[in-house]
Amino acid sequence: MEPLEEKAKALVESIRGRTSPGSRSVELRVFVSKALREKEISLYEAYLLSGMGMEFEHLAYTQPAWSNRVRISILLELLNLRLLAAGFGERVEEGHWAAYAREAYAMNREKRPHYILDRYPDYLGETIPPEALQTLAEVRARRSKPFGKGPYHTEVFPYDECNCEEFLLQGKSLPGDKELSGAVENLLVELALLLEE
């Protein structure tokens, strides 16, 4: 198997060859999903890399040149990033993702019935009410989902790799350390430079 450093370099080269921030985001998300599933990166590293992916996605739906639309899946991923930031005790980042989520919610064009849209503003305050977290926990626990048309918060990063809402309901921090491998640290720097282009 290829070492993570080599995979990260190949990812940067591939992303550099793409002009659309949306396609850059998709490529990064695929990398994160696979690396997390194969245990090549920690949950914290995956959270930071997914955050970079959302930064590319943010460019895609806010810049007129790209005109991507905000979808429910984006709202769910922003919510999950906010939950992860809270679970990792990163207050500044939690505020950052909540602000992105408020902006995206205002731009959302999907107005169909969806369990998250009904309560989305509840997740965006200074603190997340336990009732809102309980809703997420109940949806995660059900074998049959509350309606036939997703997406669900378990279908976007961090998927089922982390049950953030349960940790937050119990007042616990997410497990694991925040130490970054050299490969992930270098990848984050390269991605930040690409974001500036």
**pTM of the shown model:** 0.92
How many folded domains does the chain comprise? 1
The percent of residues in the chain predicted with pLDDT above 90, rounded, is 69
pLDDT-wise least confident of 89-98, 135-144, 171-180: 135-144
Q: What is the pLDDT of residue 118?
A: 80
pLDDT by residue (tens digit) across 37-64? 999 999 999 999 999 999 999 999 999 8
pLDDT by residue (tens digit) across 95-116? 999 999 999 999 998 888 888 8
pLDDT by residue (tens digit) across 162-176? 889 999 999 999 988
Averaged pLDDT for residues 132-136: 91
Residue 79 belongs to domain spanning = 4-196
Mean pLDDT of all residues belonging to the chain: 91
Q: pLDDT: is 148 or 152 the higher one?
A: 152
- Band the pLDDT of 1: cuts 50, 70, 90: very low
pLDDT-wise least confident of 36-40, 59-63, 64-68, 123-127: 64-68
- Band the pLDDT of 145: cuts 50, 70, 90: low
In whole angstroms, what is the distance from residue 122 CA to residue 119 CA?
Answer: 5
CB under 8 Å to 124, separation ≥6 — which residues?
Answer: 82, 98, 101, 102, 105
In whole angstroms, what is the distance from residue 174 CA to residue 87 CA?
Answer: 5
